[in-house]
């Protein structure tokens, strides 16, 4: 079994995944902001599960907006267990509203969390993974980088950027023995804090200029729910189950992408077409080796 560090484990997909992986026998370091402060109840819940069920589920502090915090978290994991096999990038936030109404600074903050947070943790973890010549970077992305829904502009931008960051990083780490997995959840209208805690644009004057579209934004969740086949229970636990399934596969045999989408949005077909074009382009450049994982 693997030693796993996962970000954003206080709620939602990260919380469900931390529990699922620990119950599957992995040593899990579930990280979050302020585990002794604002997230103390959530951190205690995980500790209680570890004690009651006898699973190896540990809580650590990690703020992905801080390189110092990312560095410290990886140091703590290595000091605690002596190794780190899997890094799961899950932390993220959602903004809902009209693109023009968000200031550049608001969008930059979201990108800082959803995209640059990934880079910070990679910079903290990759030196160790490079030295050992193996490891897995697993990114919890989003089907929005393909489906591009309206009224979620900053979020779509940040997740598309994260997807590209994961992809170009994979070119450079695969020849060093480090594999990449991108799990792409579809829309979920329950079981996460994404919509209830979504941010809104500070520039209300600009937002009011789009008031003719307000009825569309108001039924965003309803419109998303309409994508599901009637009777579908859209519980994000299926994402945790898929991540657990993937990490149970032998190292080097895990899929590069996995779509967990209950909205019938043809994302797999889009991914296949883009992957074919990308792979052909890179091979014609003469860089085919960056597409293959070097196995120790």
- What percentage of the chain carries pLDDT values higher than 70? 98
Q: Can you name the residues that pair with 88 across neighbouring β-strands? A: 6, 138
pLDDT for the residue numbered 194: 61
| Chain segment 235-267, per-residue pLDDT in tens | 899 999 999 999 999 999 999 999 999 998 999
3-state secondary structure of 194: coil
Sole residue written with tokens 């998303």: 224
Q: Are 213 and 153 in contact (CB under 8 A)?
A: no
| Chain segment 74-120, per-residue pLDDT in tens | 999 999 977 999 999 999 998 999 999 999 999 999 999 999 999 99
Residue 267's nearest CA partner among 193, 194, 192, 182 is: 182
**Axis-axis angle for helices 117-132, 153-173 (nearest 10):** 20
Q: Are 19 and 46 in contact (CB under 8 A)?
A: yes
Q: Does the reported pTM lie above 0.85?
A: yes
pLDDT for the residue numbered 231: 76
- Is the pLDDT at 195 greater than 80? The verdict is no
Q: Mind listing the domains of the chain with CATH numbers?
A: 3-291 (3.40.50.720)
Query: ∠ at Cα 66 (127, 156), nearest 5°?
Result: 95
Q: Taking the CA of residue 196 as centre, how many other CA atoms within 13 Å lie in the half-sphere pointing to its CB?
A: 7
CA distance 176 to 193: 37
Q: Are 89 and 118 in contact (CB under 8 A)?
A: yes
């Amino acid at each position: 079994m693997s030693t796993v560090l996962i970000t954003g484990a206080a709620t939602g997909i990260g919380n469900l995944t931390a529990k699922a992986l620990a119950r599957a026998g992995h040593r899990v370091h579930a990280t979050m902001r302020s585990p002794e402060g604002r997230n103390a109840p959530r951190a205690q819940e995980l500790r209680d599960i570890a004690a009651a069920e006898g699973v190896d589920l540990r809580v650590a502090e990690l703020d992905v907006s801080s390189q110092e915090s990312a560095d410290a978290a990886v140091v703590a994991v290595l000091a605690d267990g002596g190794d780190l096999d899997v890094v799961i990038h899950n932390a993220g936030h959602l903004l809902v509203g009209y693109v023009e109404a968000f200031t550049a600074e608001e969008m930059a903050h979201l990108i800082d969390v959803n995209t640059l947070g990934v880079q910070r943790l990679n910079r903290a973890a990759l030196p160790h993974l490079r030295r050992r010549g193996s490891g897995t970077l697993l990114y919890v992305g989003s089907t929005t980088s393909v489906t591009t829904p309206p009224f979620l502009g900053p979020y779509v931008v940040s997740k598309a950027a994260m997807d590209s960051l994961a992809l170009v990083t994979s070119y450079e780490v695969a020849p060093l023995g480090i594999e990449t997995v991108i799990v792409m959840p579809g829309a979920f209208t329950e079981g996460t804090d994404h919509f209830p805690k979504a941010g809104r644009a500070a520039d209300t004057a600009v937002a009011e200029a789009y008031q003719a579209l307000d009825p569309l934004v108001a039924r965003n969740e309803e419109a998303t729910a309409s994508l599901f086949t009637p009777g579908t229970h859209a519980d994000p636990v299926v994402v945790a189950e898929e991540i657990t399934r993937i990490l149970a596969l032998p190292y080097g045999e895990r899929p590069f992408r996995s779509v967990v989408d209950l909205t019938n949005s043809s994302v797999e077909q889009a991914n296949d077409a883009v992957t074919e074009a990308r792979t052909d382009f890179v091979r014609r450049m003469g860089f085919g080796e960056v597409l293959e994982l070097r196995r120790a």
